[in-house]
Amino acid sequence: MNSAAISASTPQDLRRQLVVAASAVFAVIGSFIGSGAAGGTPIQNASNGALAADATLIAPYGPAFSIWSVVYLGLVAYAVWQFLPAQKSARRHRLLGYPAAASLILNAAWILSIQFDQLWLSVPIIVALLAVLSWIFVLLLRNKPLNIWDAVVTDGTMGLYLGWVCVATAANIAAVLVSAGFDGFGLNPEGWAVVVVAVATAVGIALAIYGKGRLAPAASLCWGLAWVAVARLNGDLLSTPTAIAALVGAAAVAAVTVVVRLRGARSPRQIAARN
């Protein structure tokens, strides 16, 4: 069956669309709270500053978090996009709707866990978010976009979301471990930081290969790693080895993504799979 096939809409389609829209509103409200604009404590200052740029060696520099503005804009665009007639009963959007809603709810729940100083709770939440986004990535790969706009709004947004959350998960876990007094089992903090960056790099390369060179996940993951490097070369928590590892990791993910994408472009069957 064609993954882009459109059938007659049903009441279940409208229910799904409303759930996605409500979840998007919930996530946007959470983002305002997390930014401090709605009276909450900015994320970098909440939980005793555990997620600040100088809290751990894996924490990205402050400007890195501006990517959330792009991701939220894309998520709101997706919430509107999925209401349009062409998407309403499309198979890929039927499959994607509830996982997308779950990601939005988990996003807001993560912010609330930080706001209420439940740093330990933020880990299972962000791991669950990463798992949901990974499943969304698989769904999108298996069900091709309806057109170029669907690829940009849906695949592009979810790809950026996934790549950034990969970096955020690593930073979040590091923050919890440091706050709990983790001693590294004898390995110094810089050694652990390099290991974590290497794992994030491996994840990025795996996404590039499995995703046949999708640009969006690579772009946000490389963005996060690059700002980790900037943070370690500036500010109060300096680490040249971590910075070098992050820059090498970002370069490796970008290079593999480009190579895989170019190789795929040589095959006419692969051109339609790109976003």
Q: What is the mean pLDDT of the chain?
A: 90
Amino acid at 38: A
Residue 75 has pLDDT above 80, yes or no: yes
In angstroms, rounded to a whole number, what is the distance separating the alpha carbons of residues 66 and 17? 28
Mean pLDDT is highest, among 43-52, 157-166, 257-266, for 157-166
Residue 271 pLDDT class (50, 70, 90 cuts)? very low
The whole-angstrom separation of Cα 197 and Cα 242 is 8
Query: Distance between CA atoms of 261 and 215, rounded to whole angstroms?
Result: 8
pLDDT average, residue stretch 104-127: 94
Q: How far apart are CA 233 and CA 129, in angstroms?
A: 30
Q: List CB contacts of 120: < 8 A, sequence separation 6 or more.
A: 176, 180
pLDDT at 6: 55
- Say if residue 134's pLDDT is above 60: yes
Rounded to the nearest 10 degrees, what angle do helices 215-233 and 157-179 cross at? 40
- The whole-number pLDDT of residue 123 equals 96
- Assign 138 a pLDDT band (cuts: 50, 70, 90): very high
The whole-number pLDDT of residue 50 equals 85
pLDDT tens track for 183-219: 878 889 999 999 999 999 999 999 999 999 999 999 9
| Helix/strand/coil percent split, the chain, to 5 | 75, 0, 25
Model's pTM, two decimal places? 0.91
CA–CA separation, 139 vs 155, rounded Å?
10
pLDDT at residue 10, as a whole number:
87
Is residue 1 over pLDDT 50? no
Most confident of 61-75, 83-97, 243-257: 243-257
Phi, then psi, of 6 in degrees rounded to 5: -115, 130
